[in-house]
Amino acid sequence: MNCKNIIVSALSLMAVVPTASFAAFSTDDYVEAAWMTTRFFGAQRSGSGPNWILDGTNYTKSFTKDSYDGKDVSGGWFDCGDHVMYGQSQGYASYILALSYAEFTQGFYDLYTGDYTDYKESRDYTRKGGKSNGVRDLLEELRYEADFWTKAAISSSKFVTVKGDGNADHTKWVTAGKMSTLGSGEGGEPRSITGNANDAFTPGLAAAMLAVMARVDPDESNQKKYLEAAKTAYSYSKSHKGVTNSSGFYESSWWDGRWQDGPFLAALELYRTTKDSSYMKDADEWYFKLEYNLGSTTRLNYSNVIPLSVVMAEGVFHWAPQGGQIYEAEGYLKKLYSENMKNGVFMGETGGGGKFPVRTPAGGAFLYALYSKFYQTSEYDDMIEKNVAYLLGDNNDKKSYVVGFTKGNAKAPTKPHHRGYYGNENPDCDVNCAGSAPEKNKLLGGMIAGDFTSGSHNGSTAQWNVNEVCVDMNAPLVGALGYLLSKKAPVKMEGEEEEKEEKKDTIDVVPVVAKVAGINLVQNGSSITLSGMGPSAFDVQVFDLSGKMVQQFKGLQGTSTLMLNKKGVLQVRVISAKSRHTFMVKSL
């Protein structure tokens, strides 16, 4: 059931007329950036591959012997410029990319084959050397990762969250293929596998990614296996807590208790895919436990998925957070991003080396893109594009933060902290003696951690805090680029169904008198009276059918009568410290 041919050919894209693009970039430049940043994930492939960056080396496969409890768990993406697989950030990246594909499908093109044989045959690893094969490129990259997660989800009591040891891995500066041949003490095989961590976050995000793939992959056999694995991963997530601790690399304390987003997003996506109301009930329970306030002052990143959860809950279920001062997704994003802009660029939590500042504009652009899709608004499009363009080099220093992207006279980084990029297979050569990269690798497409305080790029490969490239940093940028291209130059492929608006959660309109879980609701025209909550305080949030909150009442107690100031069908969400329920009423 794979799609056949692309209606707009890769060649015709070269002639696309830019529409309201920023001065530095044409629409075709954004196509180039999306191609590069998407293909970067192909350079992160572990296992039997294929991995395009290993083409031409002596060892084109890596870590094919990864196993846990006798089960093959090879594959997946390397975390950053190393060869460890950290599921904490990988789950985050894979879900964001799958979600981006689902929501901005027509912004992702078919410019190369997923096995990269087109580049080998043409001996040209630029965009011109690729060939379309009827499958969007991002889908092919996602399938590789989804196939790994199906292996990782062994059972409800066994789930692989980490492969490899960071300390051993970092002793040698060689390609993944070569490292696989070294001893375990030098990062080679066999390597340690973590398959029973007390972790709900990682398997939750993996389950969310798999649930999306079960919904969007046109291959029916893939749909079936991804859904089954999603349910297994979610089952593991539900019976565990917290996040895997990988000392010195991913400390569980970095999450600051924000791990419930994993199972929440898993339940949400499983509901979207299956329409099984039990998953919506689970999502409701998880959402009530999210640490909204702890996530409201920290940008979107692998250890703070609260902002994404807020957008998804409102976009899918019309839910808004309980507690604190921010109730709507738009307000949440404003506090995190648009209130912290400098010349239109999101600058909260940015700065010099070690701050990984690129995460702020990339994450903000992605979240606003997602919000815009749910509400079918173009209000934030210029802001989204401004932040993407900034990362691609439309800034005072003309610094592109994407390795190989030099459009609009942008100066790209040339010394990324990435072992495969240099193609070195000499274990005696350290990070400082790897030399220049092979020509084909110079279009790596990875976005470096960056430095927003310097006018030029750092030229030291060893400076990982500036030159590191990671899957978690690329994912939101790919998503934001997909959104822009879905608006500027959308591409429909033959065999694809027309995009259908997702049916939102529906709840029957309650009668004039209703009682659910001890909560009594009596309606009289435009007023409602709530009782049965006991002495504890409770809040009420009222939403219209577009998902916008139109009223809120805080700190109510006992029996309360409220006037609804909007006519029509409304959602009334009653929230206390111990319970919550949503009524659907018709205000007269």
- pLDDT, tens digit, 9 for 90 and up, residues 450-473: 999 999 999 999 999 999 999 999
Q: Which two tokens stand for residue 116?
A: 């990269």
Enumerate residue ranges in the chain where pLDDT < 70: 1-21, 321-327, 497-518, 545-547, 577-580
The string of pLDDT tens digits covering residues 366-423 is 999 999 999 899 999 999 999 999 999 999 999 999 999 999 999 999 999 999 999 9
Strand partners, 569: 586
Q: Please indicate whether residue 240 is annotated as part of the active site.
A: no
Closest CA to 20 of 389, 344, 338, 373: 389
Q: Which two tokens stand for residue 49?
A: 């591959």
Please give the DSSP secondary-structure letter assigned to residue 492. Answer: -
Q: Are 495 and 105 in contact (CB under 8 A)?
A: no
- Cβ partners under 8 Å of residue 97, min gap 6: 41, 138, 141, 142, 145, 209, 475, 478, 479
Geometric angle at alpha carbon 49, from 30 and 478, rounded to 5°: 20
- What span, in angstroms and rounded, lies between the C-alpha atoms of 356 and 93? 16
> Which of the following is catalytic: 55, 82, 284, 472?
82
Domains and CATH numbers, the chain: 10-397+471-488 (1.50.10.10), 513-587 (2.60.40.3080)
> Which of the following is catalytic: 83, 240, 417, 457?
417
Q: Which residue has the tokens 């942008």?
A: 410
Closest CA to 237 of 215, 257, 213, 264: 264
- What span, in angstroms and rounded, lies between the C-alpha atoms of 495 and 555? 53
pLDDT confidence of residue 500? 55
Geometric angle at alpha carbon 185, from 145 and 446, rounded to 5°: 35
Report the Cα 507 to chain-centroid distance in Å.
Answer: 29
- From residue 144, alpha-carbon distances to 42, 56, 115, 236, 518 in Å are 9, 21, 10, 22, 48
Q: Please indicate whether residue 417 is annotated as part of the active site.
A: yes
- What span, in angstroms and rounded, lies between the C-alpha atoms of 479 and 371? 12
Q: Is the dihedral of CA 208, 211, 212, 217 positive or negative?
A: positive
Q: Which two tokens stand for residue 130?
A: 């690729």
Q: Which two tokens stand for residue 61?
A: 């496969």
pLDDT confidence of residue 24? 86
